[in-house]
Chains A and B, each alone.
Chain A
């Protein structure tokens, strides 16, 4: 029986993490922490290494270089059990289109060991939170992209995760749907105390009060509160700061 982590333990701690695909370095000594109850944006252009990082955080990939700890539990030594506090929304859609919303969620709930009654209770709760309470009997194939994403977020929340990982969850969605989903997840972090890691290349999804980790060419080029990072740029906005951070690196390269 292991002792529960202290309240000061970060939800996620990444230390000097490196990963290479056949000799090509995709992540280079990446380090950052995610605090509980905080929305942390992982900002980086396409090819920055965000999805590789998600692969490592979810054990779809492994590396010997560096350390990942979820609520203090080392992913390497704790094994698959360390994934229990995670809720994951992958960049790629992962719902079974031929099954209904309810069947998809029930499948996941049972995978996570929930009893039938507990699963039904949480499915109703999470779908209501996503304004999807009346969609249980509908086939996923009949839903639009935004609703499918909401179902995936609801699914990720079924296991009451302490840490929610979302890998570019708004890719391919229209602007109003994007805003609505971003708003929902921000509310989740502030109201329920879940730590959120939101990977994106879209600056308008980040709020001034969010924690921010900027990833570029496999390296963390800046981290801190978004407003403070924006303040460091002469124009004072995040977009300019991001251009400076990534542009300067490109020039140096």
Chain B
């Protein structure tokens, strides 16, 4: 048991250390949602009213509405960043050091995912702190109850990224793939507007957004920030996590092989 705990702690420690060393990464992780919150939302709050809908019990301003979506956006970017680092680790070889540890592969990959989720949670709390300075605050229990939810959503988004990273052979290809994941996932969700608004303009887009697991990550975070549960979203997020994790473990299965060798393309 000690070997498992030590390995888990080592993977988390390395990921946090790498994050701390990359100040630009931390800065950009914060600047992106803050621009959305303080510029985009400030402009839209005058034109976009949000009707009362759960979990809200009163009328809210647009910036309050999109804050949970931006929290999920931080995790979406962090999840993809962490999977990008997996492609980088694979190219630089350090993934081999992890995968040749004498512990089950699923556990090593789960540790790596958890480490990425923990790093994303640090970013989220930094964002929530800054947002509170601008008057966007949530009930105190929400800040605590959102923690396990953030772990779950962080794991789900990381697992999706990990599966993608397992099937991307080169770092250069990864950026292209990301464009097909991050932007559709974000814009076809309830992060920026309630889905009933989407339904008014396009029913097919509404259904795509409704089926998008990222929508459920946003809603789970939104409800948790108000200390409430959203059980359908919880089931969708948990289910997606299990499927994506299974696919990732399959993707990194030695039966499928890793690129072997040192030079470009690797010796075989």
Contact = CB atoms under 8 A, between A and B. Distances in A.
Given A51-B267, A94-B94, A62 B262 contact: no
Nearest to A114: B6
Given A51-B260, A51-B261, A60-B254, A94 B97 contact: yes
Nearest to B261: A51
Nearest to B103: A80
Interface residues of B, number: 36
A52 B268 contact: yes
Interface stretch (B11-19, B134-142, B156-164): B11-19
Nearest to B3: A113
Contact of A54 (B13, B97, B260): B260
B254 A80 contact: no
Interface stretch (A10-18, A32-40, A81-89, A224-232): A81-89
B107 to A, nearest CB: 9
Interface stretch (A1-9, A95-103, A120-128, A241-249): A95-103
B2 A107 contact: no
A98 B21 contact: yes
Contact of B104 (A79, A86, A103): A79
A80 B3 CA distance: 13
A92 B93 contact: yes
A49 B104 CA distance: 27
A92 B6 contact: no
A173 to B, nearest CB: 13
A79 B108 CA distance: 14
A61 B266 CA distance: 14
Contacts of A92: 92-93, 96, 261-262
A61 B102 contact: no
A91 interface: yes
A90 B13 contact: no
A35 B10 CA distance: 33
A61 B257 contact: yes
B179 interface: no
B268 A90 contact: no
Secondary structure at chain A's binding surface: helix, strand, loop or mixed? loop
B96 A90 contact: yes
B33 to A, nearest CB: 25
Contact of A51 (B18, B22, B262): B262
A60 B96 contact: yes
A135 B2 CA distance: 29
Nearest to B252: A60
B198 interface: no
Contacts of B100: 58-60, 83, 86, 88
A99 B254 contact: no
Contact of B6 (A80, A111, A171): A111
B102 A62 contact: no
Nearest to B10: A110
Contacts of A110: 6-7, 9-10, 13
Given A60-B254, A88-B100, A94-B94, A21 B262 contact: no
Contacts of B258: 55, 60-61
B98 interface: yes
B96 A95 contact: no
A113 B18 contact: no
| Nearest 4 Cβ contacts at the A-B interface | A110-B10, A91-B262, A113-B3, A94-B93
30 contacts: A50-B267, A51-B266, A59-B99, A59-B100, A60-B99, A60-B100, A60-B260, A62-B255, A83-B101, A90-B96, A91-B262, A92-B261, A93-B92, A94-B96, A94-B97, A95-B94, A96-B94, A98-B18, A98-B21, A99-B14, A99-B17, A99-B18, A99-B21, A107-B10, A107-B13, A107-B14, A111-B7, A112-B3, A112-B7, A113-B6
